[in-house]
């Protein structure tokens, strides 16, 4: 996995799993790789993986069965969509708007392109 | 646990540490950083019992390593940057070490060699520097010591071997083990090490987990230079500005940029993390 330069690694690991949830590679009640195994695969400190899993657990996207592991939640897909939508609106869209202003692209022009 | 308390150390004409205190708790992969000559290797030698503190204490599980007691030595393995090449083959080497390390596991060693893609049946002298190093890393991990000290472990490794190195370290790290990686090749181990320790002449400037670092510092990757930042550095496409982070906004730590920030703001950083 190639990490991007500007986003915290633990969030990039979340994104990777979100992608798998959206594509259907990970389905409700599927078990995730253990913290350790994902750490080995990515060559990343287990603390970082733990933080990704904690973040996803707090968002209700995955759940922890004590002693067994982490599993994909029933409504994970919906939650991931919401999560990614919010992220797009809060983080990516402002960049796009900033660039549009810089380049003098009007909302009308944008709408035409978007349609 | 490794406890360093009010430790002084110096070579004949060159003081190195003055009154430093630092603990290493088990279960962590520490990254030990610092400019040339600040004493990173010296610190590893003190922990291994190869050097004796001039004053203060260095304790490994409450015993001074310089006493060189078998029960202390069998818990620790140190790969120095300028390691002496063992005689014979790596497989013979680990057999010779086995009696001194009660948790040594030869089957695990063979497995590690396979993972690292080295053949342990060739003489060390016939292997390239990188292959020698990989054999030593396999040996070190298969000895299953509680303490593993690695001085510039990725030096001389080719690109695929660096990836393998990160994977085997992540695999063999566990709650009972303390791994200390001293390095200048920060990019090689950036996502592997946590916490980070930055040493300076005579003092520890920073010891913090990534989480604590991002709680206190914000790494902004933007197009403009921020003159109020603690540190700014030009990168392709813009600037990285490191500022305080009163709102606790998440960002990605670049360890190289963190290092430069710390070196330029020693007092501020000590206050912020102290």
- Do B125 and B247 fall within a single domain? no
pLDDT at A1: 61
pLDDT at B82: 87
- Do B236 and B174 fall within a single domain? no
- Do B172 and B260 fall within a single domain? no
- Do B69 and B99 fall within a single domain? yes
Range of the domain at B234: 209-273
What total number of domains does chain B contain? 2
Q: Å from A105 to nearest chain B CA?
A: 20
pLDDT at A43: 94
- Which token pair is B172? 């063999």
- Do B175 and B195 fall within a single domain? yes
Q: Å from A115 to nearest chain B CA?
A: 30
Tell me whether residues A43 and B251 touch, CB distance under 8 A. Answer: no
Res. B70: pLDDT tops 80: yes
Nearest to B151 by CA among B49, B48, B259: B48
Least confident of B5-9, B14-18, B93-97, B188-192: B14-18
- Which chain A residues are closer than 8 Å to B170 by Cβ? 36, 39-40, 42-46
List, in order, residues 6 or more apart from B178 with CB less than 8 Å away: B1, B2, B24, B25, B26, B27, B28, B30, B146, B147, B148
Residue by residue, DSSP assigns B91-156 as HHHHHHHGGG-TT--HHHHHHHHHHHT--TTS-GGGS-HHHHHHHHHHHHHHTT-SEEEEESTTTT
Q: Å from B245 to nearest chain A CA?
A: 15
pLDDT at B274: 83
pLDDT in tens, B1-38: 999 999 999 998 888 999 999 999 999 999 999 999 89
Res. A19: pLDDT tops 90: yes
In total, the C-beta contacts within 8 angstroms joining chain A to chain B are: 54
- Do B165 and B245 fall within a single domain? no
Contact assessment for residue B252 and residue B188, using Cβ atoms and an 8 Å cutoff:
no
CATH classification at residue B46: 3.40.50.300
pLDDT in tens, B209-228: 999 999 999 999 888 899 99
**The total number of residues written for chain A in this structure:** 115
- Do B215 and B201 fall within a single domain? no
Tell me whether residues A40 and B251 touch, CB distance under 8 A. Answer: no
Least confident of A109-113, B41-45, B111-115, B164-168: A109-113
CATH-assigned architecture of domain A9-114: Orthogonal Bundle (1.10)
- Do B121 and B51 fall within a single domain? yes
How many Cβ atoms are within 10 Å of B73's Cβ, its own excluded? Answer: 17
Using DSSP, state whether B16 is helix, strand or coil.
strand
What are the angstrom distances between the C-alpha of A28 and each of A24, A59, A64, A72? 9, 15, 13, 5
Mutate to test the interface with B, among A9, A10, A43 (most CBs of B within 10 A): A43
Q: Are strands B2-11 and B14-24 parallel, antiparallel or unpaired?
A: antiparallel
Mean pLDDT (whole number) for A1-19: 86
- Do B83 and B216 fall within a single domain? no
Nearest CA in chain A to B161: A43
- Do B225 and B130 fall within a single domain? no
User: Which of A3, A6, A39 comes nearest B221 by C-beta?
Assistant: A6
Mean pLDDT (whole number) for B173-197: 95
- Do B108 and B192 fall within a single domain? yes
Least confident of A12-21, A84-93, B39-48, B136-145: A84-93
Q: Mark out chain A residues that contact chain B at CB-CB < 8 A.
A: 3, 5-9, 11, 36, 39-48, 51
Residue B181 in contact with partner chain A when CB distance is under 8 A: no
Res. A2: pLDDT tops 70: no
User: Which of A7, A40, A51 comes nearest B170 by C-beta?
Assistant: A40
Q: Å from A72 to nearest chain B CA?
A: 24
User: Which of B163, B171, B194 comes nearest A47 by C-beta?
Assistant: B194
pTM of the model: 0.91
Mutate to test the interface with B, among A13, A39, A45 (most CBs of B within 10 A): A45
Any idea where the domains of chain A sit in the sequence?
A: 9-114
pLDDT at B266: 95
Tell me whether residues B191 and A42 touch, CB distance under 8 A. Answer: yes
Tell me whether residues B171 and A5 touch, CB distance under 8 A. Answer: no
Tell me whether residues B194 and A45 touch, CB distance under 8 A. Answer: yes
């Amino acid at each position: 996995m190639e990490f991007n330069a500007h986003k915290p690694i633990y969030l990039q690991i979340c994104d990777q799993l979100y992608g798998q949830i959206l594509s259907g590679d990970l389905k409700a009640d599927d078990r995730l790789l253990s913290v350790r195994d994902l750490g080995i695969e990515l060559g990343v400190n287990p603390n970082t993986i733990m933080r990704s899993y904690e973040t996803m657990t707090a968002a209700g996207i995955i759940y922890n069965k004590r002693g067994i592991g982490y599993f994909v939640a029933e409504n994970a897909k919906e939650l991931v969509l919401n999560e990614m939508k919010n992220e797009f609106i809060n983080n990516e869209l402002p960049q796009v708007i900033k660039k549009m202003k810089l380049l003098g692209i009007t909302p009308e022009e944008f709408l035409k392109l978007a349609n | 646990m490794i406890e360093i308390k009010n430790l002084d150390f110096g070579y004949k004409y060159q003081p190195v540490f003055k009154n430093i205190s630092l603990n290493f708790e088990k279960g962590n992969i520490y990254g030990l950083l610092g400019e040339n000559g600040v004493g990173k290797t010296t610190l590893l030698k003190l922990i291994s019992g190869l050097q004796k503190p001039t004053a203060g204490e260095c304790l490994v599980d409450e015993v001074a390593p310089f006493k060189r007691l078998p029960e202390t030595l069998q818990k620790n393995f140190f790969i120095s940057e300028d390691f002496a090449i063992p005689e014979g083959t790596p497989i013979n080497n680990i057999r010779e070490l086995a009696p001194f390390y009660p948790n040594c596991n030869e089957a695990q060693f063979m497995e590690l060699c396979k993972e690292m893609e080295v053949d342990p049946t060739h003489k060390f002298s016939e292997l390239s520097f990188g292959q020698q190093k990989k054999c030593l890393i396999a040996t070190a991990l298969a000895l299953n010591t509680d303490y593993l000290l690695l001085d510039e472990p990725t030096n001389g490794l080719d690109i695929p071997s660096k990836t393998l190195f990160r994977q085997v370290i992540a695999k063999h790290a566990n709650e009972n083990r303390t791994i200390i990686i001293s390095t200048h090749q920060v990019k090689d181990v950036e996502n592997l090490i946590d916490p980070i320790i930055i040493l300076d002449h005579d003092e520890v400037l920073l010891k913090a987990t990534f989480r604590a670092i991002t709680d206190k510092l914000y790494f902004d990757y933007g197009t403009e230079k921020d003159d109020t930042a603690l540190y700014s550095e030009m990168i392709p496409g813009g600037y990285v500005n490191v500022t305080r982070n009163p709102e606790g906004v998440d960002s990605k730590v670049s360890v190289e940029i963190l290092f430069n920030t710390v070196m330029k703001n020693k007092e501020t950083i000590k206050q912020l993390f102290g």
